[in-house]
Structure 1
Amino acid sequence: MPTPFFAAGSAGFTAWSLDPTCCQARPIAMTPTEVTKIQFAGPGRVQVVTEPMEFVLAPDEVLLQTRFSLVSTGTETAKLTGLQEVTYPFDTGNRACGTVVACGSDVRNIRVGDVGFSYTPHWSRAPARRLFVKAPREVPQLHVPFAGMASVGMTALRVGQVELGDQVVVVGLGLVGILTAQLCRIAGAHTVGVDMKPSRLRLAKACNLPDPIDANLPDVKARILEATAGREPDVVIEASGTPEGAIQALQLTGSQGEGNVVLLGSPRRSLDTDVTPLLNRVHLWRGGSVNLLGAHEWRYPLHRDPFHKHSIERNIEVVFQLMAEQRLCLEPLISHVAPPERAPEVFADLIDQPDTMVAALFDWTATDHRPG
């Protein structure tokens, strides 16, 4: 497993290695360089701008030349359409693969030329102020940004306490749902996926998730029990990010004993319904006993520290190890790889073709020649 690169501290990255050969031992003042950015100019309006920027790295920062960045479809399209309020113009994106081109004086265990994951926007160059995790050489650079999305799914396993031999159902087979289902299978759980879109059911099969179930059928729970030899799921993970998905998840476990329902997706629209039956599913021992658990990615610390077993940093390291061992199926998930200039077209497709668009990446490799 990759070694840790940054430890927890009061200001983002904190060195815990004293190797003086890692990076230059002084703050880095970069000469102005042209940076290309993908922005939301307003509701439904995507623009690509290039402007000169001067980066002055703090001692605990690294500067990255972006290789590939992945669209977080649900979050970014919500901000583009106005479903989630932001201030325009908005610099979008937060999961990328980048090559280190400069390091602050306090950074250790990272060298210029290292490639890894960061929570940086869709920029040709960007400072990694929160986290940079070096990727193993065996992991293709195109796959590196997926570590951030798989880390979202990892949170559901941690919170839901998925264990070897568990029966798990994942509701919603988009990018996060399929990655989560794969992680559950790797953890030794018998995993069944549920979705209402035929294209997503086919995609799940392409990612080695056998026999996903059509959520449109009237007997979804009966089909799940058939697949689990009559045993109710121990854990149901709601990954669709819809209120309807959460309601369905609550109906799929708990009537034979205790069950965990993990809310992984982030609902962004309202639904008028009677919540009393749902509350009884949580509260009553007869036909209920459901534990309703929230699993937002940021509930865990960003960095490793001595007082927390889990962190986002550790989750990404685990995902990278799985990628290096080729245990995660990613290629079928890639719908688009496009240069940043095509960003308006890519986002239009993500909004207009949600059934067929799953993972879209921007290829920034053509910008590598720009001086820093």
Structure 2
Amino acid sequence: MDNKEIVFTAPWEVEVREAALSPKALAAHEVLVKKKYTLISPGTELACLSGNEKWFRMPGVPGYAAVSEVVETGNGVTDFAKGDLVFHYGDHSAYQVVSAEGVFLKVPPGIPLQWVPFTRMATVAFTSVRVSDIELGDHVVVTGLGLIGNMASQLAKLQGATVFGIDFSEHRLQMAAKTGLDAGFSAGSEDVHDQIKQLTNGEGVSALIEATGVPKAVVDNLPLLARYGELILLGSPRGEYQTNVTEVLNYVHLINYGSLTFKGAHEWRYPVARDPFVKHSLVRNSQIVFDLMANKKLQIEPLISHVLKPEEAPTAYEGLKNDKERYHGVVFDWS
């Protein structure tokens, strides 16, 4: 069987390769799938492409968000059949052998297939709401309005909060306005904090969701938090940053009398499959996202900037790296 893969061959080098796929007999719980669409995760995949993610080895095939058609099933697979459309954590290849366990879910009818891979981005963002104490009537600010930050802002709004966003990109601010953001602010503006304080009657926000992964953004925006506020680290911190940590600790300890809470919001803090002893799981979150998409409560269409063929992968990653105003939600069409 002829296969096609997007391959990171070296830092900042992307190739599309033809490869023969000759899978051995499928294991009992394995499935052979044919991709329909896959979605680039800009933060993670650009970090991998830079060569700075030690867990990603080059040459390697990136990607972890796909909607596919089932081609063949192992003899232990009973819930799926040939022809089923499924959402799973698939890479950027035409065909792939994957496990039918865990996050491997049938796509409900009525959801456009191009939207389905965004479920992965939404479940990543979901963690910021799951770990938080965000309630009806709260004020929340999200720093960084890429795919993850945008969805975090939408989910916080669905939680009942008034949501503000901060980003350097005017295009991202406009996109977030289309998806329901209450107010957006340029990160380059000197009076951002004053404007947000005015909108919160001088109190500040109850939750700061940090989605950029830039450590400086955490420190710079701590003053936005109200008493008993929570800092939620959604973006994985990357890059070196030097500061006087004593000032940060004293801000928490003295200025706010120890009332601030720091929370990590990495998606893997919850189990993959449903567990009778744990309320949340990646499977449950994914199914909830399906419902939100189907009922048009989670806006996906404004997040799609490009639908490209796999052969255009070098252009896609170049755009995500150097033309962030035009490239954000890039979907590969494998049909």
Normalised by the shorter chain, which TM-score bucket?
A: over 0.9
- Counterpart among 170, 176, 180 of residue 204 in structure 1: 176
How many angstroms does 1:275 deviate by? Answer: 1.6
CA distance in 1, matches of 2:6, 2:21: 15
CA distance in 2, matches of 1:122, 1:281: 44
Aligned to 1:147: 119
How many angstroms does 1:199 deviate by? Answer: 1.8
Aligned to 1:73: 42
How many angstroms does 1:233 deviate by? Answer: 1.2
Q: Any unmatched runs of 5+ in structure 2?
A: none
Paired amino acid for 1:38:
I
Paired amino acid for 1:78:
A
Aligned to 1:218: 190
Q: Any unmatched runs of 5+ in structure 1?
A: 1-32, 366-372
Aligned to 1:16: none
| Structure 1 consecutive aligned stretches of length 4 or more whose deviation exceeds 3 Å | 284-288
Cα deviation 1:58-87 (Å, max 9, x = unaligned): 111222110000001011111112232332
CA distance in 2, matches of 1:286, 1:178: 29
- Counterpart among 56, 70, 80 of residue 110 in structure 1: 80
How many angstroms does 1:104 deviate by? Answer: 2.0
Paired amino acid for 2:168:
M
- Counterpart among 16, 22, 33 of residue 48 in structure 1: 16
Equivalent residues of 2:210, 2:235 under 8 A apart: yes
Aligned to 2:268: 298
Determine whether 1:170 maps to 2:142: yes
How many angstroms does 1:287 deviate by? Answer: 5.5
Cα deviation 1:23-77 (Å, max 9, x = unaligned): xxxxxxxxxx111110101111111111111223211122211000000101111
1:195/1:287 CA distance change after superposition, 3 Å: farther
- Counterpart among 52, 55, 61 of residue 83 in structure 1: 52
Aligned to 1:228: 200
Aligned to 1:10: none
Q: Give the alignment of 1:318-337 within 5 angstroms.
A: 318-337=288-307
Equivalent residues of 1:250, 1:290 under 8 A apart: no
Equivalent residues of 1:236, 1:262 under 8 A apart: yes
Aligned to 1:125: 95
SS in 2 for 1:200: helix
CA distance in 2, matches of 1:332, 1:120: 23
Equivalent residues of 1:302, 1:312 under 8 A apart: yes
Percent identity, aligned pairs only? 40
Cα deviation 1:146-202 (Å, max 9, x = unaligned): 000000110000111322222111111111111110111112111111112222211
Equivalent residues of 2:197, 2:224 under 8 A apart: no
Alpha-carbon RMSD across the aligned residues, in angstroms, is 1.6
CA distance in 2, matches of 1:151, 1:106: 28
Paired amino acid for 1:39:
V
SS in 2 for 1:168: strand
